[in-house]
Amino acid sequence: MMTKTPFEPDVTIVMPIYKPNEDILKMVEKALAEQKYNGKVTVIKTNKGGFGKTFNYGVENAKTEIVISLHQDCVPVNENWLRDLVAPLEDKDVVATVSKVELPYEYWRNFDAVGKILSAKEQMVITPALDQKACANKRSALLKVGLFDSDNFATAGEDYDMYLKLKKIGKIVYPDTKVYHYHWHNISNRFAKEAQLSNSFGALVRKHGTNIDHWYIGILKSIPIIGWPIFLLQCKPLKIKHLTLVAIPLYLYINFLYCKNFWKGFFSGKQTKTI
């Protein structure tokens, strides 16, 4: 009985680099070096100002059909990550694959109170739609849909915009792969992040409307006071029992911050709030 040859084509990994934590970046590089993968792996580290522009540059300069996005703070959890992520792309109908993402508890527990509360919903294993933190894409599919919309989404929203475009032309698969996401959250950068994300979501709703999964929840969150309970439900209070009383007024502020930036993105039709 003949054994099937594993699907391990040459690949290009595009890694946007912007003020990296050098220790974490070394962890990423070490994990890549330890991958059990027989195809040639080319890594492009670059920064062209925003993920969309950076990844578009990588795609345009890649010499391989498989182009992988990997953020500078996302560490593959095992040596089979690359092989398992790429394998489904052997199917001609599959255009992209997506890694699960986990914010490690031991890392999260060292955040300040605000950072801990606002990132509590991320302190679990998440399966993104197509967040490009650690995803494999067919270059031909990306080119077919026009690459990432870096004109309307400078630093957020371009990933979900791509998800909506790619799923129209092929299958997006979610293999059993995972990365640890070592992104630091504190009171300063998290408020900015909430503004950025809500602003980009407003632009996404303007562009794609009801094609967005659970679009109505985003609309409800954009209404002052009415949206407040939704934020509280999403904050996972069981993880932060001792901070629940802080979360109640904090998310009231986040509700108003969300409203302001969501509608700004919606009426302008583009993401304008960056970090």
Residue 247: the pLDDT is 87
Residue 272: the pLDDT is 83
Does 273 map to a domain? no
Does 28 map to a domain? yes
> How far, in Å, CA of 180 to CA of 54, rounded?
22
> How far, in Å, CA of 71 to CA of 133, rounded?
5
| Residue 45 CB coordination number (10 Å) | 16
Does 19 map to a domain? yes
Residue 246: the pLDDT is 86
Eight-class DSSP state of 36: -
Instruction: Give the residue from 86, 71, 75 showing the smallest Cα distance to 41.
Output: 86
Residue 154: the pLDDT is 86
Q: What is the mean pLDDT of each run of 10 residues along the chain (275 residues)?
A: 78 95 97 97 93 94 97 97 98 98 95 91 92 97 97 93 97 98 94 94 96 93 94 72 83 95 96 78
Residue 3: the pLDDT is 63
Q: What is the amino acid identity at position 193?
A: K
Does 4 map to a domain? no
CATH classification at residue 198: 3.90.550.10
Tell me the residue ranges of DSSP E strands in the chain.
11-16, 41-46, 66-70, 74-76, 94-98, 100-102, 125-126, 134-138, 171-173, 178-181
Domains of the chain: total:
1
Does 117 map to a domain? yes
Q: Answer for the pair 123, 181: CB distance below 8 angstroms, yes or no.
A: no
Residue 6: the pLDDT is 86
Domain of 261, in residue numbers: 11-268
Eight-class DSSP state of 122: G
Does 217 map to a domain? yes
Does 5 map to a domain? no
